[in-house]
Structure formats: C-alpha cells, structure tokens
Structure 1
Amino acid sequence: MTAPRLRSDLESIPAYKPGKAPAPSETPAHKLSSNENPYPPLPSVAAAIADCIGGINRYPDMSGREITALIAERFAVDPAQVVLGSGSVEIVSQLMRATAGQGDEVMFAWRSFEAYPLLARAGGAVPVAVPLDSDHRHDLDAMLAAITERTRLILVCNPNNPTGTTVSSAKLDAFLAEVPSDIVVVLDEAYLHFNHDPESPVGIDFFRRYPNVVLSHTFSKAYGLAGLRIGYAISPAHIAEALRKVAIPFGVTQLAQIAAVASFQAENELAVRIDELVAERDRLTEALSAMGWSLPESHANFVWFPLGSDTARGVEVFERHGLLVRPFPGEGMRVSIGSVAANDTVLTAAAELASLVLIPTDAAETSAA
C-alpha cells in the first residue's frame, strides 16, 4: 500500500523552532527565549477578556471593526488600509501569498526573523537571504544588488530580530528610492515600541511617501498579548484588499480583538512598562560592555551574543544558571529582556561565559608581542 502523497518540496522546509520552554519537571527557569513581555496582563485588559468569555461560542467579527477603527485613527489612515492577522507573522505570510507565486523571489536580510524563509518556501516562493553587514545590520546596498525580475517582496525587519540593530532613515530612503515601484517593501516593526534610536525611520512616514511600502505591527511584544495572537498591516488599499483575500477566515479571535482594544485604552500604563523594559535593556547592555562584551547595539527587547562556534558553550552556561535562551547554532544566541531578577542572573551567567570565551586585553597584547 502506498502512502498518501505530499508536496515533494516539504522536505526542504525546516519546521519553525519556538523558544525553549521549561519542562514541567524542571526547576523554575527564566524563559528568555521568545522575546515575550515579562509582565502579566494589565488588570483592565484581563477584565475585558473575562467579560467576553461568555460569547466564545460565536464567531469573531471577521472585519475587526472596533480595533481596526482605533488603529486607523491612531495612524491617521483609512480603515480600508488596515488588515488584521493572527500576529505579525501571519501578516507577513499574507503578504507573501498575495505577492509571490511559484518561483517568485522573497528577499530579506540574514540572519533575520527565522520564519521568513519558512513562510516563503511554504508558499512556493524562493527565499533570497542577503547577509547582514559586519555590524549585524541590513546591507541595503547588497539587497538592491540582489533584486531580479523575479523579486516580488522585500522584508526589512527594523529593529532586526535577532540582532536588535536598526537601519537609518537616510539609508532606507535611499534604498526605497531605488527599489522598483512594483516590488512591495515590508517594514516589519514588531519591536517598534522599544526602538529609541533617533536615526531610525518612522515607518508610517515612509508609508505615506512610498506607494509600495507596507507596515507590519504586532500586539505580541510591547502590549504583552503574545498568547492571543493579533497583529496588523497598514497597507495601500489595493494591497490590503489582496491581503484579505488570502487571510485565514476568522483568524483573529474575539478575545484577541477585545484585548487589543483594551490595551489601546490602557496605553499610559503600558508606556510605563515599556520604559522599564528599555531601562533594563540599557542597564544590561552597559554592564555587559563593562565585562568586555562587544555586542550589537540593541533597540529591541533582547540582546544578541554573536558567539559563532562558542554558541553551544554559551547556551550550556546560561541554562546551568536557569536561563532559557534562543540559540542559532554556529552564529550566536538571543537573550530576551526579562524581569530584574532574570536580568541579574543574565549578568552572572555572562560574566562566567566571558571568562571562558573572551580573551583579556592584556593577554591578547602579550600573545601579539
């Protein structure tokens, strides 16, 4: 008896690997592997979710009218230009399915968000990964040079996951001026709220200036709704219409929509939490620098250790201290900003790791002599 036939190219698509979570039998650990917001839901948001539990026997509002209206008002766009999705990853998936067919190319920097190549291949497109520059940033000149007649979609992750680096407004402007107008360029701003880089572009400004720019945002990070899955695109109306055609019907639950509305209404409280996370990130990076670590400047809610061949050793040291992080074998590890206690533990583990993989300055000078 022959087995049911599946797509032959699925073997070339590796499964997405979520950040490691502690097993039930393990000692409680600090989970810093998924860039989650370490704070629990705000009481007002939790109450809004509880109030709508009784209606989960009904399908959600497929158009998401209330949250769509709030997003449109916030960014001063037409509601027809707002498209909801089950997290920003599903927004990116919609964009790929709407723009790229079999054999078309989807371009992105690499390393960047791990789902990009998986989603491209799953949709039948060809992923084109352009290496980051020596500063772990998007190499926009190299990306321009990689454009072909098959390029349909270009993703710019800003700040970049997992390195935390940003592109500058000037470089992005020069880049977009050269990209053919029939290619859609996505500014993936999942970590927008943590980005305090004054030279970094404001996505909505570029959306207004370039007719082929789409923004991808999420409620998972700063708003702390990762478990409910809701994100959105701000897009030119004709592209938005195409996104709705390929979206999963009823893909954004009513619970997620209600929580997003409540989060918008509680943004003053959320802003305090965001400021605290940014302050913790800055405290952590300053302390790591003082230890001798030379890490990319992060403008997100995580830091990147470019450990290369020492990545496995770094993961072992951090896990021994009860820290679950996100490894990228042979490249480095990403460590999310957590609670104060978690971040203090990161510093302890990083100090131990530094003694194993960093060469003290005086030792390096002696060796050179």
Structure 2
Amino acid sequence: MSTEHTRGVRLRPEIVAVPAYKQGRPAPADGFKLSSNENPFPPLPSVVDAVTRVLSDLNRYPNAGGGDLRQRLADRHGVDVEQVHLGNGSVSLLSQLISAAAGVGDEVVYSWRSFEAYPGLVTVAGATSVQVPNRADGSHDLDALAAAITDRTRAVIVCTPNNPTGTIVTAADFERFMGAVPSDLLVLLDEAYYEFVTDDASVDGIPLLGRYPNLVVLRTFSKAYGLAALRIGYAVGPAHVLDAARSAAIPLSVTDAARIAALASIEAEDELMERVARIAMRRDQLRDALIAQGWVVPEAQGNFVWLATGDQTAEANDAFFDAGLTVRAFVPEGIRISVGEQESVDKLLEVAADIVRNLPNGHPAKRLG
C-alpha cells in the first residue's frame, strides 16, 4: 500500500477546515429546548391529518417541483409561478443560489455575526467569504457592506431579522443599499423570521422585486408555521436566477409531506399567525425583563433574544444548561435564546438574573453608567 493511501482519502483542505454545522445540545429531562429557534407550539391537527394522508405513498418519489404550492405562493405575492422556487429549508436555497453565482476566485459578502451556516455554504461553493462586522447594537452596517463589494463579489447576503442578534434592516436603509450596489450583483435577502417582525420600519423584500432585478427573497415554513422537522422553504425572485438555483439543487429533495404540510398551513394561516403574535408578545416581554435585570439586549424582531455574554459565554451556557435550559452559545460572543413555552420564561429569567449579577463591572453585557 502506498504512503498516499495510508494517509487516507484526499479531501479539499478548505472543506476539512470548516466546522460542520452542529445542532444545540438536546434539552435535559424535563427541561426546555431554547437553542434552535423552533416554534414551541405543536402542529395543528389539520396539518398533521394532511401529512398523514400522504404517508401511504412513501414508495413513490415526491412531486418535488411542487407546482401547486408554487402557484399558491405566486398568487399570494403577485408574481409568475416561475419566480417561485421551493427547497428543503431556506438554507438549501441559499446553498443553491450561492453555488449558482460564485465559485473559485469569487467572493460572497455578508455581515458577521449572522447565520452560522453562511461561511460553510460559501466555502463549499469554492468561493471566499468577506465578513463585515455588525454595528455595536448587533445590526447590519449596510454602508460597510456596500463598501466591501469589489469586482470579485458575486453575491451579498442581507439577513433580517438578523440571526442571532435579532435586529432588522429598515426599508429605507435597504433601498439606499440597493441603490449603492451594482445592478448585476445578486442580493440575497434572508427573511427566515419575517412573520415575527412587528416593527413597521422593517424592509419587506417581495414587493421590491419589481424594482430590483438582482434581488432574491428567501422565506421558510420552519419557524412561524412550525414545520421545522419537514424542512421546506421558498425563494421569490427573477425566473432566470431561480432556474440557475434549480440547476444547482439536489433532485427530488422537497418531499410530498413537506409540500402538503405547507399547503395545509397556508389554509390554517389565521390560527398560526395568532400563535406568532403570542410568541412576538412573549419575546418583547422577555426582552423588557432582561433589560430590567441589567442586560443590554438588541432590538429583538425574530423569535429569539441575544445576550452579549462575551468572554463569559461558556460559563453562562453551562449555567442555563444546569438549570434545565438549552440555549445556543456562540463562544466568545454571546448566547441566542429562543422564545419557548411560557413555562420556560420564569426559569430563564431567574438564571439570567444570577448571571448578569455576577458579571464583572464594565462587562459589555451590563448596562454602563
């Protein structure tokens, strides 16, 4: 056997160097999972019934093109059906679009910290990430984002509300940004948490598609609609761009169960959006309580809040876990906490009060002055 073979299979070093995406720790027994931004409400019976009816056809390949769901979404958003593309979660769509636009020698620009999957998706495509630091309040610095664009840039990602900090991009700022970027540069507006936004100033990307032929908007049924286990999202944008994404997609990756669940969820939308409103109200109450404890919490417009625990992140994460709460730690920056069951809020606030009380004076998580 050759020396080369004894060293193992040759792999792309840049892929080996990228940390694989990891889910948060599972919740302890009798605890609460607040690490994955899941909808805490169980699926509606009507949605479960609709999915159950398709399980007898598991021996058949799915209708992955999803013409019925795409038409429903196209009618809703006032676009042609070819301007809607389905994927198994919005992250899958991001992967397809990045791969369609960028390769070796190209750059993809995005704010950081933002969705943790972005760096891996760019690297897998063969391109290079250009990460632009967020502002001190956790929001995108759109002027810096525009300034980072070069002739090597092939795509730019804007995430609003930003995961994990929860801040929005306003409509005015986004339109100014679009006016500053090249008209042939693909702009991916990641609106995975769109339904939770209560700030009227926030951008709403889909109505802007007619003005910006380089814009694609991404949304998902995982969060607000409670279909995280089925992994279905959609993109709305120019047909020729989405055709390129379809070419980069894994064939037949959208299941019938996911498609049918999405259609049933649209039928039950009034009930689901009432749940979303309750989560948003709970989020605002949680943020207010955390601020009262001394935390500096960015404006929260997703279904989560952000605690800038800095160099105390690992210790804070362990404290929450020991109390029966799994949260999402980004060492050494901070912790993202999903808005979960109402029963989890009191325990969460009790632990958070102890953590902030014991942080050293001058720590960035504490209110100064």
TM range (shorter): over 0.9
Candidates 3, 9, 15, aligned match of 2:14: 9
Alignment correspondent of 1:327: 329
Q: Does 1:21 align with 2:50?
A: no
The one-letter code sitting in structure 1 at the alignment partner of 2:153 is T
Please report how far the alpha carbon of residue 339 of structure 1 lies from its aligned counterpart in structure 2 after TM superposition. 0.5
Alignment correspondent of 1:337: 339
Aligned partners of 1:42, 1:122: CA distance in 2, in Å? 37
After superposing on structure 2, the runs of 4+ consecutive aligned residues of structure 1 that deviate more than 6 Å are none
Aligned partners of 1:166, 1:73: CA distance in 2, in Å? 27
Q: Deviations over 1:106-156 (max 9, x none)?
A: 111000000001010011010111000111110111111111111001000
Instruction: Report the RMSD for the aligned CA atoms in angstroms.
Output: 1.8
Aligned partners of 2:172, 2:211: CA distance in 1, in Å? 14
Is the partner of 1:163 in helix, strand or coil?
coil
Aligned partners of 1:65, 1:216: CA distance in 2, in Å? 18
Q: Does 1:294 align with 2:299?
A: no
Alignment correspondent of 2:210: 208
Please report how far the alpha carbon of residue 236 of structure 1 lies from its aligned counterpart in structure 2 after TM superposition. 0.4
Please report how far the alpha carbon of residue 10 of structure 1 lies from its aligned counterpart in structure 2 after TM superposition. 2.0
The one-letter code sitting in structure 2 at the alignment partner of 1:9 is E
Please report how far the alpha carbon of residue 358 of structure 1 lies from its aligned counterpart in structure 2 after TM superposition. 6.2
Q: Deviations over 1:63-100 (max 9, x none)?
A: 10111111111111100000111100001001101100
Q: Give aligned-pair identity as a percent.
A: 49
Aligned partners of 1:207, 1:307: CA distance in 2, in Å? 38
Runs (5+) with no aligned partner, structure 1: none
TM-score (norm. length: structure 1): 0.95
Is the partner of 2:92 in helix, strand or coil?
helix
The one-letter code sitting in structure 1 at the alignment partner of 2:59 is N
Contact residue 84 and residue 252 of structure 1 kept, 8 A = yes
Alignment correspondent of 2:53: 51
The one-letter code sitting in structure 2 at the alignment partner of 1:354 is V
Question: Is the alpha carbon distance of 1:9 and 1:294 closer, same or farther for their aligned partners in structure 2, counting shifts above 3 Å?
Answer: closer
Is the partner of 2:329 in helix, strand or coil?
strand
Alignment correspondent of 2:264: 262
Is the partner of 1:208 in helix, strand or coil?
coil
Question: Is the alpha carbon distance of 1:200 and 1:358 closer, same or farther for their aligned partners in structure 2, counting shifts above 3 Å?
Answer: farther
The one-letter code sitting in structure 1 at the alignment partner of 2:114 is S
Please report how far the alpha carbon of residue 320 of structure 1 lies from its aligned counterpart in structure 2 after TM superposition. 1.6
Contact residue 292 and residue 358 of structure 1 kept, 8 A = no
Runs (5+) with no aligned partner, structure 2: none
Is the partner of 1:109 in helix, strand or coil?
strand
For these two proteins, the number of residue pairs brought into alignment is 362
Is the partner of 1:352 in helix, strand or coil?
helix
TM-score (norm. length: structure 2): 0.95
Please report how far the alpha carbon of residue 258 of structure 1 lies from its aligned counterpart in structure 2 after TM superposition. 0.5
Q: Deviations over 1:242-296 (max 9, x none)?
A: 1111111001000000100000000011011001101110111111111121110
Alignment correspondent of 1:172: 174
Alignment correspondent of 2:155: 153
Contact residue 13 and residue 122 of structure 1 kept, 8 A = no
Aligned partners of 1:358, 1:70: CA distance in 2, in Å? 54
Contact residue 214 and residue 234 of structure 1 kept, 8 A = yes
Candidates 126, 129, 132, aligned match of 1:130: 132
